[in-house]
Amino acid sequence: MFKDEADFEKVVGRLNIDTEPNPEHKQNLRRQMLSVFNQAEQESSTRVIVFRTLRSVIMKSPVTKIATAAAIIIAVSIGIHYLGVPIDGASVAWSQVIEQLSNHTKYKCRQRVVREQGPEYPTMQVYHLNLQQRRQEVENGDIHIIDMRGEDAITVELKPAQMKAIVTTLIGFGPKNDPDIIDMVKRFEQESTERLGTKTVNGKVLQGFRHKPNEYNDFTVWVDPKTKLPVEIELKHPTAKQTIYMDQFAFDFDLDESAFSTDVPDGYEVENLTLDYRPVEPKQGTAEDIRTGLNHTAYTVEKLPWMEKIIMIETIDPLGTRAKVYITGIQSNDGNTIITVQGDYYDIKRMVWIPNQQLVMETPSGVKLYTHPNGSEYARYYLEAFGKASPESFDIENLSEERFTRMIVMPDETVIGFSANKQISDEKLQELVESLKEIKAD
Amino acid sequence: MAKLVERTEDNDLVLRAKTQAEALGRLYEMYYERIFRFCVYRLFNKEIAEDVTSAVFLNVARGISNFKGQSEQDFRNWLYAIAANQANAYIRKSSRRKKLLAEAAGSMIPAAAGSADMTFEPDWPGLYAAILRLKPRHQTIVTLRFFENFSYEQIAQILEVKEANVRVTLHRILNKLRNQLQTVYDGEI
């Protein structure tokens, strides 16, 4: 038998146990798990959905650093707020502050975000008209208007210096409430709100309160004992390594409602963008669909002798950005599946991370190919999306470990995602890249 | 440059997995086989181990957004705790336990006559049958310690107990296990 622990360890070490997993189970479970994950994401509260989407869109993943105007505008206000479950319950300890806050439906403040990593957010004056309308005056002179009252949320980014405006319609996004920090402060729980004593700022004594609902959010609120209204709010996000500072509060500001209008003033050059938040079922499409569906140059692959089949698919971005993408799938005569991906936000101005990657090819016509830091995962998502939309073209079971991704930057700065299930020779790759042709109206 | 980006992202993997399917997918790739193996050790039958492994990762998918940990170590502890709970939940149903015992017994190589001396070594089904007669929590400790080669400290973290507690418990478990093995090979299962 065995004498002691060491002896038992040896006994176990000599056992022959079959623990080889079934690859099919592994693959199916992976898909099922990510589906459950995505579903759970969709079922989360609005602010959490928006926050996560924006985190994944903007802050972290080089896959999707699609710094859209709308995303930035909303991120500045939503992404910085509350991380996690909603705060419930009124506070008696806060009763006077809450009572005062309840008397005010609108407020303005200065908002600064200090981040240890990721893109910087600009300092801005934020005017909250109500829980669905907001105006942000950025330190560089830009103005953002956010209106989430309708079925389609609208963000307007005005750049007075350049007389340019970017109007982004988030189709099917709303109506939703703005995740408003004052609204959250009003609901701090009594038991977990700690008094911090006082501090003096500009000769004024302030009373401090601290509320730490979880490890993701740590609020400090400094209140003027006379007005019983917040003077400073500091919200630390230890996990995200950022702190938001709000000060210069003014409640019931006097600003005409027209300041919250999403109508662009005369004289501005307007760029219209859309982000489609409606559910999209994948469907096969044509080159014409891609051309009309994109707000920038669309490309198609010219059929080469080694290409057996080319299929175009319109689907929702499998990376969860909610944007629509166009996938062109190519079956080669050596059994490889190659896909190109185009979307509204595939351009070098928005995918600013691409030039930092390794340049692996530059064709005589000036097309550049870069590596992708998460190339294997990116390829998996897009190949799976392609296989789901066109099962007869690509069987997900055939997903290869060789799969890889390159980001193609066309001379006009349009970006095209490129993934292949198996390795491809440089010659073929160059042929394919050079076969990319602009889709024209005729 | 690309490598630098990759490394930075890996450090952030668990945090990113709370919001990004891509990062969760990477954690899955890192841990699927380990959790499956753990389930095989706990449940003997590979099909049942697959079912329980599925339950573990589906729980992870549902719960990771609220997972409080930040590091990969936190994630690993959380993952194994879920796996242990799922395996225990499976085994707690007596009908299932009987089925597993019967299956293990059916696969056992009978001890040779006169083999009850100190040199006799159990085969896997025999050892499993003996382990299965321990309390589910004790089964977890045995599996983590001897099959997954976890340190006392790691086991303590997963089970949220003190390290000393794991040491003492394991000492008792081994004594029990020795008795169980004797019983198993005496044909009392």
Report pLDDT digits (tens) over A60-75: 333 333 233 344 444 4
**Amino acid A321: pLDDT:** 62
Q: Tell me the Cα Rg of chain B.
A: 19
What is the mean pLDDT of the segment spanning B39-60?
A: 90
Which domain-ending residue is among A271, A298, A315? A271
A198/A111 same-domain check? yes
A217/A306 same-domain check? no
With beta carbons under 8 A apart, name residues in chain A contacting B170: 5
A161/A238 same-domain check? yes
Residue A287, Ramachandran bin (φ over 0: left; ψ between -120 and 50: alpha; else beta): alpha
Give the range with max mean pLDDT: A273-282, A355-364, B91-100, B120-129: A355-364
Which domain-ending residue is among A271, A300, A325? A271
Q: Is residue A27 part of a domain?
A: no
CATH code of A204's domain: 2.50.20.10
> Residue A3: phi, psi to the nearest 5?
-95, -50
Q: Is residue A172 part of a domain?
A: yes
Q: Is residue A88 part of a domain?
A: yes
- For β-strands A242-251 and A404-409, DSSP reports them as unpaired
The residue among A110 and B116 whose pLDDT is bigger is: A110
Q: Which of A23-32, A278-287, A411-420, B148-157 has the least mean pLDDT?
A: A278-287
Beta strands in A202-304 (DSSP E): 204-214, 217-224, 229-237, 242-251, 269-276, 283-285, 299-301
Question: Where are chain B's structural domains?
Answer: 12-185
The CB density around residue A148, as the number of other CB atoms within 10 Å, is: 22
Q: Which of A126-130, A379-383, B71-75, B94-98 has the least mean pLDDT?
A: B94-98
Which member of B15, B62, B120 has the closest CB to residue A239?
Answer: B15
With beta carbons under 8 A apart, name residues in chain A contacting B16: 60-61
B20 touches B2 (CB < 8 A): no
Q: Is residue A117 part of a domain?
A: yes
Can you give the residue range of the structural domain that contains A351? 279-438
A326/A365 same-domain check? yes
What is the mean pLDDT of the segment spanning A236-254?
A: 85
With beta carbons under 8 A apart, name residues in chain B contacting A377: 22, 25-26
Contacts of B166 (CB under 8 A, 6+ apart): B141, B152, B155, B156, B159
Within its chain, how far is the Cα of B175 from the centroid?
20
> Residue B15: phi, psi to the nearest 5?
-65, -40
A155/A285 same-domain check? no
Task: Flag if B19 and A85 touch (Cβ within 8 Å).
Answer: no
pTM exceeds 0.90, yes or no: no
Q: Is residue A28 part of a domain?
A: no
Query: How far off is chain A from B22, nearest CA to CA, in Å?
Result: 6
For residue range A342-365, list pLDDT tens digits in order: 998 888 877 888 888 889 999 988
How many structural domains comprise chain A?
2
Query: How far off is chain B from A116, nearest CA to CA, in Å?
Result: 13
Q: Is residue A304 part of a domain?
A: yes
A283/A264 same-domain check? no
**Amino acid A239: pLDDT:** 67
From residue A286, alpha-carbon distances to A292, A331, A388 in Å are 10, 17, 18
**What ipTM goes with this model?**
0.85
For residue range A24-34, list pLDDT tens digits in order: 899 888 988 88
A328/A391 same-domain check? yes
A172/A261 same-domain check? yes
A104/A231 same-domain check? yes
What is the mean pLDDT of the segment spanning A229-251?
A: 87
Give the DSSP letter of residue A59: I
- Whether residue A85 is predicted with pLDDT greater than 70 in this model: the reply is no
The H-or-E segment that residue A97 falls in is helix A95-102
A221/A342 same-domain check? no
The residue among B54 and A51 whose pLDDT is bigger is: B54
CA–CA gap between residue A101 and residue A379 (Å, rounded): 50
The residue among A256 and B94 whose pLDDT is bigger is: A256
Secondary structure of chain A: what % helix, strand, coil (to 5)? 25, 35, 40
A295/A261 same-domain check? no
Q: Is residue A5 part of a domain?
A: no
Percent of chain A at pLDDT above 70? 82
For residue range A260-307, list pLDDT tens digits in order: 999 999 999 998 887 767 766 788 889 999 999 898 899 999 999 999
With beta carbons under 8 A apart, name residues in chain A contacting B40: 17-19
Coil, helix or strand at residue A353: coil
Q: Both tokens of residue A425?
A: 């020779």
A121/A230 same-domain check? yes
Within its chain, how far is the Cα of B151 from the centroid?
14
Task: Flag if A5 and B24 touch (Cβ within 8 Å).
Answer: no
**Amino acid A49: pLDDT:** 32
- The residues in B 136-175 lying below 8 A from A, measured between CB atoms, are 146-147, 170-171, 174
Task: Flag if B66 and A84 touch (Cβ within 8 Å).
Answer: yes
With beta carbons under 8 A apart, name residues in chain A contacting B4: none
CA–CA gap between residue A405 and residue A182 (Å, rounded): 44
Which domain-ending residue is among A271, A303, A319? A271
Task: Flag if A5 and B170 touch (Cβ within 8 Å).
Answer: yes
The CB density around residue B186, as the number of other CB atoms within 10 Å, is: 10
Q: Does B12 touch chain A (CB under 8 A)?
A: yes
Q: Is residue A334 part of a domain?
A: yes
- Write the single-letter amino acid at A381: Y
- Whether residue A13 is predicted with pLDDT greater than 90 in this model: the reply is no
